[in-house]
Amino acid sequence: MSNITFDEPQLIARLRAGEEPAFEQLVRATSGRLLAAARRLLRNEEDARDAVQSAFIRAFQSLSKFREESRLSTWLHRILVNEALMKLRSRKGSEESIDDLLPSFQDDGHQVRDTVDWSDAADTALERAETAALVNRLVAQLPDSYRTVLVLRDLEGMTNGEIAEMLGISTNLVKVRLHRARQALRTLVERELGGTK
């Protein structure tokens, strides 16, 4: 979670006893990763910070319900993701389509255009420090429902089943959205690296 380490059972006991330094220790140890996750999900710094703050408040209010079946950091992360998803659901407006980023197929099943081989460009790009920033910027361009599934699966490491449960959708819909999000991201990367327009 971070470079700050702590004895988890002892910290939980101190948190449950209401020790303020224990709360500060937990916030210092976990806030960086939580904020990074919130930024990936929400694409808005203010919303991300609000989600992290709300997650800590909810966690502190629910501490008596924490059964220690998972790590405290994992439990906090789950609360943060729920807070971020609630913010996403509250956003109004229609979602943009990603159809123009998905491959098109001919009647015989072949793609209308060949997938660009950008491996040489990618190898060069991977050597540069900007690659992570580039991918994050491109992921941020995906519509919420696709970006959320991609971030939860590929960046946060959740299973399809966990994502389905969290989003209230079927596992098959998670798989479809994830596949489409990955295809769209590939198209965006190809465009960025000069492959296609």
Place of tokens 């966690």: 59
Cα–Cα distances (Å) from 55 to 83, 85, 102, 138, 189, in that order, read 6, 12, 35, 26, 33
Q: What is the mean pLDDT of the chain?
A: 82
> How far apart (Å, rounded) are the C-alpha atoms in residues 185 and 138?
7
Instruction: Please identify, in words, the CATH class of the domain defined by 8-90.
Output: mainly alpha
> How far apart (Å, rounded) are the C-alpha atoms in residues 23 and 25?
5
Asked if the model's pLDDT at residue 58 lies above 90, the reply is yes
Average pLDDT, integer, range 51-69: 89
* CATH classification for the domain delimited by 99-192, as one of 3.40.30.10, 1.20.120.530, 3.30.930.10, 1.10.10.10: 1.10.10.10
pLDDT tier at 53, thresholds 50, 70, 90 = very high
pLDDT value, residue 64: 83
CB-CB contact of 105 with 111 (8 Å): yes
Render pLDDT for 76-126 as a digit per residue (tens, 0 to 9).
Answer: 988 999 899 888 888 766 566 777 777 767 676 666 665 555 555 555 555
pLDDT value, residue 181: 92
CB-CB contact of 143 with 135 (8 Å): no
Boundaries of every domain in the chain: 8-90, 99-192
Render pLDDT for 24-34 as a digit per residue (tens, 0 to 9).
Answer: 999 999 999 99
Q: Two tokens at 188?
A: 């965006």
Cα–Cα distances (Å) from 111 to 136, 155, 185, 186, 193, in that order, read 27, 28, 17, 15, 20
